[in-house]
Amino acid sequence: MELSKNYAPATTEDRWYAHWLDKRYFNSKPDGRPAFTVVIPPPNVTGVLHMGHTLNETVQDILVRKARMTGFNACWVPGSDHASIATEAKVVGMLREKGIDKNQLTRPEFMTYAYEWKEKYGNIIYDQIRKLGCSVDWDRVSFTMDAGYYDSVIRVFIDLYQKGLIYRGARMIHWDPQAKTALSDEEVEYRDENGKLTYVNYALVDGAGASLGRSITIATQRPETIMGDTAVCVNPNDPRYQDLRGAFAIVPLVNRRVPIIFDEYVDPAFGTGALKVTPAHDINDYNLGLKHGLPIIDTLNPDGTLSAAAEVFVGTDRFAARKAVVKALKEAGLVVKEEDHLTRLGYSQRTNAVVEPRISTQWFVRMKALAEPALKAVTEGFIHIHPGDKFMATYKYWLENVEDWCISRQLWWGQQIPAWYAPDGSFRVAATREEAYALFGEAGAAAASLGFTAAELRQDEDVLDTWFSSWLWPIEVFKGVTRPGNADIRYYYPTSVLVTGQDIIFFWVARMIMAGLYYFPDSLPMDQRIPFRDVYFTGMVRDNLGRKMSKSLGNSPDLLGLIEKYGADAVRFGIMIASPAGSDLLFDEAALEQGRNFNNKLWNALKLVKGWESRLAAGAGDASAAAGNAAAGQGHFAILWLENRLREARTTIDQLFAEFRLSEALKTLYSLIWDDFCSWYLEWVKPPFGESMDKAVYDHTVRFFEQLIHLLHPYMPFITEELYHLLAERADGDDLCVRQFAAVAAPDAAILAQGNLLKDAITTLRDARNKAQLKPKEPVKLFILPESPAAYRAIMAILSRQVNAESIDFTTEAISGSLTIVAGKDKYYIVTEKALDNGNQKEELLKELGYLKGFLESVNKKLSNERFVQNAKPEVVDLERRKKEDAESKIKAIEESLNA
């Protein structure tokens, strides 16, 4: 078969993915092997994969494929999240384009549109996951709004309610005026903004309403809320305001009389030291209001316009109202001054609208009781966080200071809260209308005497926060809630490792731990209740200038476009090669280019090896082959050496995997393949032009190549599978994807040292040739004056070919008229017919001599320091002594050759 010049990923990737699916390699059923379970962090169902996802999915696929090849029953569950606010916003937008107003639709009509939308766009992410080569079990696709999943969310809600861990109440919450829904604390992002601090005069009156003839100046960032003021507060220790006890202020524009209250909450140094108190529109003011029994006047509508309670500018949007109020205040002569002020504004994570603090009746989860065991699971080491040093503290801090979780959202797309209201407003929580109706009866009265029918019950309009469904993900993807104790949940839970972005540590990671510990009873050991044993946090993917990737900057590359351009393997390589766990990744297409070049290198190595197939001849190569045969010696050492290099690298890579240092492991593999295999080994065994290839050497080479692509497969699954099948005919079912790793033997240090000697000799001699401007094709005679000739015997044949020496001989004295090279304790003499310029060479030797003398001096300094010799560990002192001897003999050798 003719192999193309360069590797073409497009022609192989889809073919192999289809083959793996066909063989059902990614499908998992419980069996006798240990399970390796990963649940995908479900992406937003109507989204697309961005580079952050790409990194996450690649990391997961590497871990899962490695486990699959290491005797585990690997199970990676794919799925997606209904993402209530984001998806509902998209559906509403789509409807608006069609000229349909959501408010004109019934709930079931809207849900039909939403499900249609999901059917249409929900598969985009799955296509991308497939293209990336992810080995997920497609029989296990889960979606947080599937009928069964929906049911599990409702069950958990009811259960938590019955145990008193969910309650309904009026609290100050974050309100998104654009989505017109409540948000949890975690869904608000704060950004610093330049705002204005407006100083406004409030007239003062006494208890009887008589003017005091003066006013108090307050500073506010939100003048549009003054109509909701119900007090003015000053610090009780502020000397400026001591005479205002019992006095009142008049709120401008609405002329409401409000008390002056005293509270240490007020910072006398901020503004004028006087604070307007608006309990309906600020969390601190709300708390002050509670403490001082102030009335609450809500002057905003749900959509962010001023409400009737504001009395002025009713119906005006809050931002327009701010300007209007300031204008009106100025006209009334009440504005003292305005100054620039840096403030922090909260934005809705989903709609980017400025959130409003708002008092509202919502559903909450009591978090304290759930947080305690979740903290314990991590601090006591049942769950390991990687990298731990970075995220342990964050995790701990949040759990120790956790607030109750607002879980109701004023949306339709999501699980509708199973609370049923009677006409009088009282409610019962139950899965169905009938069950709820029955619960009303429990109070003692017969159904008929309740005074209303089941049909009159009204279900709560709100849905649950998306995270209230995704916190059950590791349990319910195995039907652990809806079919407790089933075979899957018993086999696959706890999952092995969770790979996710550090940005959702509170939204999701902490809550999954809470859910797992809550759901599985205390009677079970902790290590069976936790949702996962390891958490691997990936960093944020930024562009090569360090900026966040965003649509508006246009710096977020299209995944499918990248795969088309470089191939999925190259994309995976590029994103992994410089991806330290937990640190931000600066995405650069140059890394993908490196990945593509690596593909090409592998491809060409294959072409080289395949080219030998037709030139095979039995003969040397084996260890048993005739000792005098140069080719035999050559093949033998290269094979021996690479065998041991592979063992060494395997050990390193396994260690790195155990520590989740995947980027490091890939670097090790890259260098093993490119440098050790391609640059050294293949060159060493390559037969001279026109000569035949030794059969035994060839067979070893194919075996090494197999081992290398086997190790690389988790990172670059497509090209490795392709190469595996091109290297040799394979039986049906013999695919790299499922090939198992054999146990690794310990490397022979002596062989590795000999290999290093060989590589050093080649590099040194090539460098010398280069500097003497000897063309590679120009043959030379080489003489070696070695410390130990034995070390050279096995590598002589390789050495002579690699440095183009027509002869190599040992010598015991310097060769006159030669090019002298000092390498360690050994000396090389190059004899050539071409006239040599020794000036360069002398310069080199002098430079080397200078370095060694400096080095020796530093070693001597240490050794002559009595305290060093006394205090340092004996092996360290020994090492220094050896360095001293070594340097001295090298210096001697150089000096000799300089004097020669």
Partner RNA sequence: GGGUCGUUAGCUCAGUUGGUUAGAGUACUACCUUGACAUGGUAGGGGUCACCGGUUCGAAUCCUGUACGACCCA
Footprint on residues 878-897 left by RNA (CB under 7 A):
879, 883
Residue placing its CB nearer to RNA in the complex, 471 or 506: 506
Structure tokens belonging to residue 437 = 């109706």
Name which of residues 100 to 119 contact RNA (CB under 7 A): none
Smallest separation, CB 670 to RNA (Å) = 7
At a CB cut-off of 8 Å and minimum separation 6, what does 381 contact?
A: none
Helical ranges in 748-837 per DSSP H: 749-771, 790-793, 796-802
Smallest separation, CB 448 to RNA (Å) = 50
The helices-and-strands tally (H runs, E runs) of the chain is 30, 31
Name which of residues 2 to 21 contact RNA (CB under 7 A): 5-6
| Distance in angstroms (rounded) separating the CA atoms of residues 56 and 498 | 10
Count of residues engaged in binding RNA, rule: CB under 7 A: 77
Residues 492-531, one symbol each (x = binds RNA by CB under 7 A, - = not), give: ----------xx--x-------------------------
Smallest separation, CB 215 to RNA (Å) = 31
| Distance in angstroms (rounded) separating the CA atoms of residues 61 and 38 | 9
| Distance in angstroms (rounded) separating the CA atoms of residues 15 and 738 | 17
Options 14, 151, 185, 338; binder of RNA; rule CB under 7 A: 185
E strands present in 513-666: 532-538, 541-542, 585-586, 616-617
Single out the segment in contact with RNA by CB under 7 A; choices: 105-113, 362-370, 784-792, 866-874.
866-874
| Distance in angstroms (rounded) separating the CA atoms of residues 669 and 577 | 11
Residue placing its CB nearer to RNA in the complex, 393 or 431: 393
Structural contact between residues 45 and 80, judged by C-beta atoms closer than 8 angstroms: yes
Single out the segment in contact with RNA by CB under 7 A; choices: 30-38, 183-191, 483-491, 810-818.
183-191
Smallest separation, CB 767 to RNA (Å) = 4
Residue placing its CB nearer to RNA in the complex, 610 or 781: 610
| Distance in angstroms (rounded) separating the CA atoms of residues 217 and 198 | 10
Distances (CA, A) of 341 to 320, 413, 496: 19, 39, 49
If we measure between CA atoms, which residue out of 842, 820, 822, 819 comes closest to residue 886? 822
Residue placing its CB nearer to RNA in the complex, 472 or 665: 665
**H or E element in which residue 365 lies:** strand 356-365
Single out the segment in contact with RNA by CB under 7 A; choices: 114-122, 427-435, 441-449, 671-679.
671-679
| Distance in angstroms (rounded) separating the CA atoms of residues 591 and 597 | 10
Helical ranges in 405-556 per DSSP H: 433-441, 466-470, 473-476, 487-492, 511-519, 526-529
Name which of residues 229 to 258 contact RNA (CB under 7 A): none
| Distance in angstroms (rounded) separating the CA atoms of residues 305 and 299 | 9
| Distance in angstroms (rounded) separating the CA atoms of residues 158 and 153 | 9
Distance from CA of residue 431 to its chain's centroid? 37
**H or E element in which residue 499 lies:** strand 495-501
- DSSP label at 306? B
Residue placing its CB nearer to RNA in the complex, 311 or 584: 584
Residue placing its CB nearer to RNA in the complex, 63 or 762: 762
Residue placing its CB nearer to RNA in the complex, 140 or 511: 511
Single out the segment in contact with RNA by CB under 7 A; choices: 21-29, 248-256, 385-393, 821-829.
385-393
Name which of residues 137 to 166 contact RNA (CB under 7 A): none
Smallest separation, CB 883 to RNA (Å) = 5
Residue placing its CB nearer to RNA in the complex, 245 or 615: 615
Smallest separation, CB 817 to RNA (Å) = 24
Structural contact between residues 833 and 795, judged by C-beta atoms closer than 8 angstroms: no
Residue placing its CB nearer to RNA in the complex, 605 or 697: 605
Single out the segment in contact with RNA by CB under 7 A; choices: 117-125, 315-323, 544-552, 636-644.
544-552
To the nearest 10°, the Cα dihedral for 734, 735, 738, 744? 80
Options 125, 517, 798, 852; binder of RNA; rule CB under 7 A: 852
| Distance in angstroms (rounded) separating the CA atoms of residues 720 and 573 | 13
**H or E element in which residue 125 lies:** helix 124-131
Smallest separation, CB 349 to RNA (Å) = 10
Smallest separation, CB 102 to RNA (Å) = 31
Name which of residues 648 to 667 contact RNA (CB under 7 A): 663-664, 667
Helical ranges in 250-367 per DSSP H: 283-292, 318-331
Helical ranges in 234-317 per DSSP H: 283-292
Smallest separation, CB 872 to RNA (Å) = 3
Residue placing its CB nearer to RNA in the complex, 311 or 593: 593
Options 482, 862, 891, 898; binder of RNA; rule CB under 7 A: 862
Options 859, 893, 894, 897; binder of RNA; rule CB under 7 A: 859
Residue 601, helix vs strand vs coil: helix
Options 422, 560, 856, 891; binder of RNA; rule CB under 7 A: 856
Residue placing its CB nearer to RNA in the complex, 146 or 664: 664
Distances (CA, A) of 790 to 382, 756, 793, 794: 54, 15, 5, 8
Smallest separation, CB 189 to RNA (Å) = 7
Residue placing its CB nearer to RNA in the complex, 478 or 680: 680
Smallest separation, CB 447 to RNA (Å) = 46
CB atoms within 10 A of CB 90: 19
- DSSP label at 652? H
Smallest separation, CB 601 to RNA (Å) = 5
Name which of residues 755 to 794 contact RNA (CB under 7 A): 762-763, 766-767, 770, 776
Residue 143, helix vs strand vs coil: strand
Phi, psi of 88 (to 5 degrees): -60, -40
Establish if 486 lies at the interface with RNA (CB under 7 A): no
Establish if 836 lies at the interface with RNA (CB under 7 A): no
Structure tokens belonging to residue 664 = 């490091």
Establish if 190 lies at the interface with RNA (CB under 7 A): yes
Helical ranges in 613-694 per DSSP H: 630-658, 662-671, 683-685
656 torsion bin: left (phi>0), alpha (psi -120 to 50), beta (else): alpha
Name which of residues 567 to 626 contact RNA (CB under 7 A): 577-578, 580, 583-586, 590, 594, 596-597, 599-601, 604-605, 607-608, 611
Smallest separation, CB 54 to RNA (Å) = 16
Smallest separation, CB 598 to RNA (Å) = 8
If we measure between CA atoms, which residue out of 777, 597, 725, 615 comes closest to residue 673? 597
If we measure between CA atoms, which residue out of 316, 345, 305, 348 comes closest to residue 176? 348
Options 27, 379, 486, 544; binder of RNA; rule CB under 7 A: 544
Residue placing its CB nearer to RNA in the complex, 578 or 744: 578
Residue placing its CB nearer to RNA in the complex, 38 or 822: 822
Name which of residues 673 to 732 contact RNA (CB under 7 A): 674-675, 678-679, 682-683, 686, 688-689
| Distance in angstroms (rounded) separating the CA atoms of residues 291 and 282 | 14
Distances (CA, A) of 778 to 691, 774, 806: 20, 6, 10
Residues 390-429, one symbol each (x = binds RNA by CB under 7 A, - = not), give: x--xx--xx--x-x--------------------------
Single out the segment in contact with RNA by CB under 7 A; choices: 359-367, 377-385, 697-705, 854-862.
854-862
